[in-house]
Amino acid sequence: MSKLKIAIQKNGRLSEKSLELLKECGIKLSNGERKLKTTSSNFPVEILFLRDDDIPQYVEQGVADVGILGENEVWEKNKKVNLLKKLGFANCRLSIAIPKEENYTGLTFFNQKKVATSYPNILQNYFTQNQIEAEIETIGGSVEIAPGIGLADGIFDIVSTGSTLQMNGLKEVELVTKSEAVMISNTALNDEKKAILEQLLFRIESVKNASENKYILLNAPNSSIQSIASILPGMKSPTVLPLQKQDWSSIHSVVKEDEFWDVIDQLKTLGAEGILIINIEKMIA
């Protein structure tokens, strides 16, 4: 039977989160020592550990069938691949930064200036769209030190917390775009590999739905059931079970993580008591 070859970053936070996602999908990986590749003992996949900036090319060429990587690398390499799914982790922004002491006057500041980056294509597209004529210095790493050693007037790089910029005497002045982990695939998968990929995407969606929702149980007077049901529609409708206490019921439903606190306040106003919130491991719509 064919195995779906999945390329992920060989180390770092994105690699850890990618492996965690596969684990949450019930995929067991047989090689505990991370080398160049490992296989699953219970699902037809093989994991390839690669440099993140090589993944788009290897997926395009069919060396890997699927890749999990930052969306920024997909934009930068601009290879012929299918963008399958945004995964909701490894969120960051790509921004331009300059030395703290510089007086920033807007994008025209960069006319006739030099900017160092590992993402020259993304930056050039941005400057072109905004009619900025700047020189782009492409470097492979340690972008933050470029202004300090006189290599460039500013940098364009990934920013998560901004602490690295501060440590190097830089300030963020332009947010160019935001990025997160995505899944890409080769454009010519055979039917067998497409079937495996569909199974994997189904599992990922179930895990993603679970992470974005909470299971909620509460007790409420029967007079409030209709109002509560309008707040907590659940997947179809809430489950309502009668309590021994007369004119009261237990209501079970699902609530969105980002709506949780607003919903709780509304439920309390409607007389809800004994509210319990439980994490959902998997959620299949």
- Using one digit for the tens of pLDDT, what is the confidence trace for 230-276? 998 777 889 999 999 999 999 999 998 888 898 999 999 999 999 99
CA 85 to chain centre: 9
pTM for the full predicted model: 0.84
User: Do residues 219 and 98 share a domain?
Assistant: no
Give CA–CA dist 164/149, Å, rounded: 16
User: Do residues 140 and 275 share a domain?
Assistant: no
User: Do residues 159 and 127 share a domain?
Assistant: yes
Q: How sure is the predictor about 31, in pLDDT bands with cuts at 50, 70 and 90?
A: low
User: Do residues 187 and 244 share a domain?
Assistant: no
- Using one digit for the tens of pLDDT, what is the confidence trace for 166-188? 999 999 999 999 999 999 999 99
CA 19 to chain centre: 13
Residue 285 lies in a domain: no
- Using one digit for the tens of pLDDT, what is the confidence trace for 204-235? 999 998 988 999 999 999 999 999 999 987 77
Give CA–CA dist 128/51, Å, rounded: 29
- Residue 156 class from Cβ within 10 Å (0-12 exposed, 13-18 middle, 19+ buried)? buried
Among residues 190, 210, 230, the one where a domain terminates is: 210
Q: For all residues of the chain together, what is the average pLDDT?
A: 93
Reduced to 3 states (helix: H, G, I; strand: E, B; else coil), residue 227 is helix
Among residues 123, 157, 179, the one where a domain terminates is: 179
- CATH number, domain at 23? 3.40.190.10
| 3: nearest Cα among 69, 67, 56, 65 | 65
| 252: nearest Cα among 204, 211, 214, 201 | 214
- CATH number, domain at 272? 3.30.70.120
User: Do residues 200 and 65 share a domain?
Assistant: yes
Reduced to 3 states (helix: H, G, I; strand: E, B; else coil), residue 155 is strand
User: Do residues 110 and 134 share a domain?
Assistant: yes
Judged against a pLDDT cut of 90, whether residue 283 lies above it is answered with no
Among residues 163, 179, 195, the one where a domain terminates is: 179
Contact status, residue 124 vs residue 76, Cβ threshold 8 Å:
no
In the prediction, which pLDDT does 68 show?
A: 98
User: Do residues 170 and 104 share a domain?
Assistant: yes
Residue 284 lies in a domain: no
Give CA–CA dist 181/86, Å, rounded: 6
Domain membership of residue 97 as a residue range: 92-179
Judged against a pLDDT cut of 70, whether residue 33 lies above it is answered with no
Number of domains into which the chain is organized: 3
